[in-house]
Amino acid sequence: MLKGPISKEDAMSYHLPEQSAATVYGDRLMIHQRSMSVFPWPTGVTKVFAVIGDPIDHSLSPVLLNAAFTAAKLDAVFVALKVTREHLESASYGIRSTGIAGLSVTMPHKESIIGHLDRVTERARRLNSVNCVFWDDGELVGDSTDGPALVSSLESDLTESIAGKSVMIIGTGGAARAIVLSLEEAGVSEIVVVGRRDEAVSKVVALGRPVARAGTVQDARNVDIIINATSVGMAETNGEGRSPIPAELIESRHFVCDIVYYPAMTPLLADARAAGARYSNGIGMLAHQAARAFWIWTGHEPPLDVMLHVVHSRGH
């Protein structure tokens, strides 16, 4: 990692994997034009993409997507914007008026953003959840990529298909709903949904029929994969320092996935490690989400290996 400012005379090439082409100048990363000459960056025509949420300081989306834009030699930048619940409406006007080229949406706005869009995809409509916003013929359109991203990440971590596996998912929010729908589509044998409110659990179960059912954390003893799709364990939230299930329910045969990645080692994952189970945090899901958003926004093949490289190089 480069530290401290670099003078113009000392400008140097900074290489991620081979797909990347960039130059460090001062404290900024500047991309090459097709001619490979360096231009001042950002410019008046640089496309701006963003993620909104609260909290947002921990977001790794700028790291992932700026690396992707650099690797693809696109004149674009990605930033994280803190938007509180009470400011979502005004922020949505700002997105339109400033010409934000594409938007990622994270907690707590995945449901409430829908009322500020022109339309949503069929998947987002079924889930009542949006995490990716794009422009189509002058309209702001919302999509949900949480579920497909989680399945892609899981299968990458497991190095095998999840078809035929039994899964317990903890949570009933937007991410949980998206994941359950995609798990059913991926051919898992059983989905056990655990939540605090029966009505909310029933709605999530409906998305995973016929293989989904309501359950309790005790069902962890009978599944192959445990997924935490809540914010329990996330730093700077009310759930910080807690795990969504008792540690004694985790066994070495389990694969445990926590969609939280801040901190990288959540209490749930620490319990999984102690039990000798395989585990992963939300970094993989985030990278696959970012890759899907990159393709939706740009039409370019996402440089997923570059994106994973820069995240893991930061110790995640």
Question: Does residue 262 sit within a domain?
Answer: yes
In tens, the pLDDT along 82-135 reads 999 999 999 999 999 999 999 999 989 999 999 999 999 999 999 988 999 999
Question: Does residue 313 sit within a domain?
Answer: no
In this structure, are 161 and 276 located in the same domain? yes
In this structure, are 74 and 37 located in the same domain? yes
Residue 315 banded pLDDT, cuts 50, 70, 90: low
**Which pTM does this prediction carry?**
0.80
Range of the structural domain that residue 101 is part of:
12-144+287-307
Q: Which residues of 55-81 are buried (b: 16+ CB within 10 A; e: fewer)?
A: bbeebbbbbbbbbbbbbbbbebbbbbb
As to burial, measured by CB atoms within 10 angstroms (0-12 exposed, 13-18 middle, 19+ buried), residue 265 is: middle
pLDDT of 24 > 50? The answer is no
Domain count, the chain: 2
Which residues, including other chains, have CB under 8 Å from residue 87's CB and lie 6 or more apart? Answer: none
Which residues, including other chains, have CB under 8 Å from residue 205's CB and lie 6 or more apart? Answer: 180, 191, 193, 212, 213, 214
Please state whether beta strands 22-25 and 12-13 pair in parallel, antiparallel, or not at all (unpaired).
Answer: antiparallel
Residue 247 maps to which CATH number? 3.40.50.720
- Per-residue confidence (pLDDT) for residue 267, from 0 to 100: 97
In tens, the pLDDT along 149-206 reads 999 999 999 999 999 999 999 999 888 999 999 999 999 999 999 999 999 999 999 9
Question: Does residue 316 sit within a domain?
Answer: no
Least confident of 10-19, 93-102, 245-254: 10-19
**Which residues are part of the catalytic machinery?**
110
298 in Cβ contact with 74 (< 8 Å): yes
Distance of CA 189 to the CA centre of its chain: 25
In this structure, are 156 and 227 located in the same domain? yes
Question: Does residue 55 sit within a domain?
Answer: yes
In this structure, are 179 and 294 located in the same domain? no
In this structure, are 124 and 181 located in the same domain? no
